[in-house]
Amino acid sequence: MSASDRLGAQAEPSIEGVTRPRQQDAPLLSARGLKLAFGGVKAADGIDLDVMPGEFLAIIGPNGAGKTTFINMTTGYLRPQAGSIEYDGQPILGLSPRVLVGKGIGRSFQLPQLFTEHTVLENAALAIAARAGLWSPLVPLLRPQWRAEAMALLDRFGLAPLAEVRADALNEGARKLADIAMAVALQPRLILMDEPTSGVAAAEKMSVVETLVRVLRDAKVTAVFVEHDMEVVERFADRVAVWSQGRIAALGPPETVLKDPAVLRDVIGIEPAHSHA
Ligand SMILES: Nc1ncnc2c1ncn2[C@@H]1O[C@H](COP(=O)(O)OP(=O)(O)OP(=O)(O)O)[C@@H](O)[C@H]1O
């Protein structure tokens, strides 16, 4: 998918639906019995998951476990063969990514989807213009209010000093933040992030995560993120879901799940020190 597909897909203005009262403790996202097989590969084999408003839920698991498939199903890029997904109490299966963005479901990608020949500021302004339902490579920066909003957005992500830098000249940490800033420009209530720290140098990884967590918490955005770095999971996730062969093998707070001997062995690759042979 190209960067322009991404914004093109998000450019349609949202239609305000009738919101019905929700219980305080109702999940924002609720998946039940999701199944999807590619040939003989079961990428989802009965996924049940509730994500509560305001929580940060990390998804961990080995390569090929079906983590990205879950994000693709939730954001309208893949349709499961069985099961249901509700967002804010409403069924969303079959809705396009564009419609889901309008409903407040944002996403960032493993490989950032930026307009590489444009500056960071232009990228942000384009996302803001897309939210307004307008699309033109030139119009956004001609509108002073979009430029001002784009600068304010970049400032929240600590990217203001890089506003005039072309996206293809950014290091990976800044690129990831710029990508997430574009998703935040679309004002999501829920964001799904596929490996927000992959490729980011170890020295800057924590500051990248601290920045994005601060911005998302300030904006009261609920987050689901795929993560391979257990230190990041431990520090920033409220709960962890462990994916294994298309199923959720464990779910709970990091302090519990990351001590589970099976998780240590199968996901993190550490043999537990004391086993009951
Ligand atoms: N569009 C597709 N067509 C065919 N097979 C697919 C497709 N998408 C995913 N798969 C397969 O489904 C399985 C789960 O893939 P998925 O990308 O969801 O795993 P993952 O847990 O995100 O892995 P990774 O950590 O490597 O990104 C893999 O075996 C993958 O090859």
In the chain, where the domains are located: 50-268
User: Pocket of ligand 1, candidates 42, 69, 71, 266: which has the most ligand atoms within 8 Å of its Cβ, to mutate?
Assistant: 69
The distance from CA 22 to its chain's CA centroid, rounded to whole angstroms, is: 23
- CA of 110, closest atom in ligand 1: 27
Output the residue whose Cα is nearest ligand 1's atom 18: 66
Distance CA 123, CA 119 (A): 6
Burial of 92-104, coded b for 16+ CB within 10 Å and e otherwise, reads bbebebebbbbbb
Rg (CA), the chain: 19
User: Pocket of ligand 1, candidates 35, 36, 41, 72: which has the most ligand atoms within 8 Å of its Cβ, to mutate?
Assistant: 41
State the fold for domain 50-268.
Rossmann fold (3.40.50)
The two structure tokens encoding residue 22: 């929700």
- CA of 72, closest atom in ligand 1: 18
The two structure tokens encoding residue 112: 């950032």
* DSSP letter for each residue of 31-59: EEEEEEEETTEEEEEEEEEEE-TT-EEEE
Ligand 1 centroid–CA 63 distance in Å is 8
Distance CA 28, CA 126 (A): 28
pLDDT for res 16: 43
Output the residue whose Cα is nearest ligand 1's atom 8: 69
The two structure tokens encoding residue 259: 């001590």
User: Pocket of ligand 1, candidates 68, 233, 242, 267: which has the most ligand atoms within 8 Å of its Cβ, to mutate?
Assistant: 68
Alpha helices in the chain (DSSP H): 3-10, 67-74, 97-103, 120-131, 139-142, 144-156, 172-185, 202-218, 230-236, 254-257, 261-263
Output the residue whose Cα is nearest ligand 1's atom 28: 64
Q: What is the pLDDT along the chain (277 residues), one digit of tens a residue?
A: 445 445 544 433 334 444 444 556 899 999 999 999 999 999 999 999 999 999 999 999 999 999 999 999 999 999 999 999 999 999 999 999 989 998 999 998 766 678 888 899 989 988 888 777 665 555 555 577 788 899 999 999 999 999 999 999 999 999 999 999 999 999 999 999 999 998 899 999 999 999 999 999 999 999 999 999 999 999 999 999 999 999 999 999 999 999 988 888 877 776 666 544 3
pLDDT for res 269: 73
Ligand 1 centroid–CA 68 distance in Å is 7
Q: How large is the ipTM?
A: 0.96
Ligand 1 centroid–CA 233 distance in Å is 22
Q: Is 242 exposed, middle or buried (0-12, 13-18, 19+ CB in 10 A)?
A: buried
Q: Which residues contact 18 (CB under 8 A, 6 or more apart)?
A: none
Output the residue whose Cα is nearest ligand 1's atom 26: 63
Distance CA 80, CA 138 (A): 38
Distance CA 198, CA 68 (A): 14
pTM: 0.86
Kindly state the DSSP code that residue 13 receives in the 8-state scheme.
Answer: P
Ligand 1 centroid–CA 243 distance in Å is 12
Ligand 1 centroid–CA 43 distance in Å is 6
Strand partners, 239: 57
